């Protein structure tokens, strides 16, 4: 998972530098986005990429970094992987040069392939202006840090490069709220804080307003649903599935204790792709 997922699940805890002995919740269950289960689905609101391998009933879920405010990653866009590149070069735009110059920094005209390239070692090009690529700074995964492209950790983009064919469908969505009905009738809702759309929202401590779409409303309108639980999930925005009918929430949220090691240095490790069947992972 990325930093945004950890931040949502652990309000009030420093997930960047957790103190030894502190307890943290690792969010490992989720609801699939409301989108065709085909190819790649990128949900910017939760900063996750979903890949549905053709001919398989599994899904690979990977954390991503997305575009900064004002340099947003696309939403409501369907495209395809046009080409792949092992060892991409990066040519900054005039606007990027201007942004860096305003901070007293300079960029080279072209970044050659290699570990210092901001695009990392692999890239999947989607459309004329965007790519799914690696990074030379893993700490930004799960944050709004790019100029609009989708960033992944080194191991994750390598796996996608090796397994995703050219021509694969790619769909961008923006779904901060997801909901599902399980085979046993259980209804779950998963709420993320929506992406800020203005500087005022970005800098405010107030919650970004949430509007439930038709698919989510259809799940939550059932008579069995406890609306107090729904409202609690919307206010809490933990980014984890919450059961909203019945008397129990069987999602495991027991905190995981951090090791008591005063010499430990927190590090962000690459995520190995995980495949899981079903609707609610």
133 included as an active-site residue:
yes
Do 160 and 132 meet the contact criterion of CB atoms below 8 Å apart? yes
* Confidence label for 41 from pLDDT (cuts 50, 70 and 90): very high
Residue 49: predicted pLDDT: 96
Asked if residue 58 and residue 162 are part of one domain, the reply reads: yes
Identify the CA nearest to 68 among candidates 158, 159, 140, 20: 140
- The tokens for 145 are 């840090």
Contacts of 241 (CB under 8 A, 6+ apart): 29, 30, 31, 180, 188, 189, 190, 251, 280
Tens digits of residue pLDDT in 3-34: 788 888 888 787 777 788 888 888 889 999 99
192 included as an active-site residue:
no
Tens digits of residue pLDDT in 103-156: 888 887 888 888 888 888 999 999 878 999 998 886 778 877 777 789 999 999
Do 133 and 153 meet the contact criterion of CB atoms below 8 Å apart? no
Asked if residue 152 and residue 63 are part of one domain, the reply reads: yes
Tens digits of residue pLDDT in 157-167: 999 999 999 99
Identify the CA nearest to 222 among candidates 183, 178, 177, 186: 186
What DSSP state is assigned to residue 205?
S
Exposure on the CB side of residue 22, measured as CA atoms within 13 A: 17
Q: By residue range, what is the domain housing residue 82?
A: 35-173
Do 266 and 17 meet the contact criterion of CB atoms below 8 Å apart? yes
Asked if residue 134 and residue 77 are part of one domain, the reply reads: yes
What's the CA gap between 68 and 177, in Å, rounded? 21
**What is the total count of domains within the chain?**
2
CATH number at residue 48: 2.40.440.10
């Amino acid at each position: 998972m990325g930093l945004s997922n950890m931040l949502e699940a652990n309000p009030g805890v420093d997930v960047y530098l957790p103190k030894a002995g502190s307890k943290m919740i690792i969010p490992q269950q989720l609801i699939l986005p409301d989108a065709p289960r085909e190819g790649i689905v990128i949900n910017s609101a939760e900063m996750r990429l979903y890949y549905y391998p053709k001919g398989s009933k599994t899904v690979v879920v990977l954390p991503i970094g997305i575009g900064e405010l004002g340099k947003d990653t696309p939403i409501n866009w369907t495209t395809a992987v046009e080409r792949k590149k092992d060892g991409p070069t990066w040519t900054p735009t005039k606007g990027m040069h201007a942004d860096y110059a305003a901070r007293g920094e300079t960029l080279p005209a072209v970044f050659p392939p290699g570990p210092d390239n901001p695009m990392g070692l692999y890239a999947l090009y989607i459309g004329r202006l965007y790519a799914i690529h690696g990074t030379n700074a893993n700490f930004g995964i799960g944050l709004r840090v790019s100029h609009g492209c989708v960033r992944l950790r080194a191991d994750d983009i390598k796996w996608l490069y090796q397994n995703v064919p050219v021509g694969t469908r790619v769909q961008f969505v923006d779904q901060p709220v997801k909901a599902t009905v399980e085979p046993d009738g259980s209804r779950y809702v998963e709420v993320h804080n929506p992406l800020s759309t203005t500087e005022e929202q970005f800098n405010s401590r107030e919650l970004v307003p949430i509007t439930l779409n038709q698919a989510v409303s259809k799940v939550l309108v059932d008579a069995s649903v406890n609306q107090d639980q729904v409202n609690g999930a919307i206010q809490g925005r933990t980014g984890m599935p919450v059961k909203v009918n019945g008397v129990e929430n069987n999602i495991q949220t027991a905190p995981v204790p951090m090791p008591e090691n005063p010499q430990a240095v927190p590090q962000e490790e690459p995520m190995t792709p995980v495949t899981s069947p079903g609707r609610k992972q």
